[in-house]
Amino acid sequence: MKLFVKLKQYFLDQAESVSNLEKKINYIFHNKDYLKQAFTHKSLDTGPRQNYERLEFLGDAVIDIIVSRELMREFPEGDEGLLTQRRAALVQKPYLASIGQLLDLMDYLKIEQSVNLGIEKIAERQQANLFEALIGAMYLDGGIDPCRKLILDTVWTYKQEAWKSTNYKGKLIEYCHSKNIENPLFLVKDISGPDHQRTFEVQVKIGLTKYSSGLGTNKKTAEQLAAKSALEELGASF
């Protein structure tokens, strides 16, 4: 009998936790399995349809398309270089992590205890991953409209904060346009470390010239650092 009471309380607590999140994002999931998957880390379940990685992949694309559309409305005369720069700032991991923190998404994460979330960069990446996974889950459950609303209420609402920070990748693209040279390529040279603590090495290539590599705990951070190095080597002001 005691076991039954404990199990009942556990499931009530879980339901209340989910309900609190749904209230925060102002969206009720029809299929709760999508929501559960969005907050299940690979360290607990390596099944691709059980952890959040596929949803993160989808959410990243959904954020890109919605942000791109809003930027075209915001800057009707803006060229491709400007739009690319502004979008890069809004979809970079550190900014999306701040949105995840705003929504307290880490409170809902299910993860193996051995994963060290005390390391700032790992925790930051998790926050961003969870926001992307949540958007992916919402898209599968309810289509583009609820995703657009949440993105407009969060990512777009605080866009000026993102644009205040230096977006080295965007500035490098802009620099190449201004000098009428080829767009930079961002080449992943190496990925090392376990799945939950990876290190990415990215190198910038412009035409036939390769520049110093950037290292980061995710691809986007490594790209930003590689772009910064390339700008310095090119003698560009930023």
- Nearest partner of 213 among 228, 200, 201, judged by Cα: 201
Helix, strand, or coil (residue 191)? strand
**How far apart (Å, rounded) are the C-alpha atoms in residues 175 and 183?**
9
Tokens matching residue 35:
């929501």
Q: What is the DSSP letter of 40?
A: B
Known catalytic residues are 60, 132
**How far apart (Å, rounded) are the C-alpha atoms in residues 143 and 176?**
37
Residue type, 26: N
Angle, helix 120-142 to helix 53-74, in steps of 10 degrees:
80
Cα 2 to Cα 8, 11, 15, 26, 55, distances in angstroms:
10, 14, 20, 36, 37
**How far apart (Å, rounded) are the C-alpha atoms in residues 80 and 82?**
6
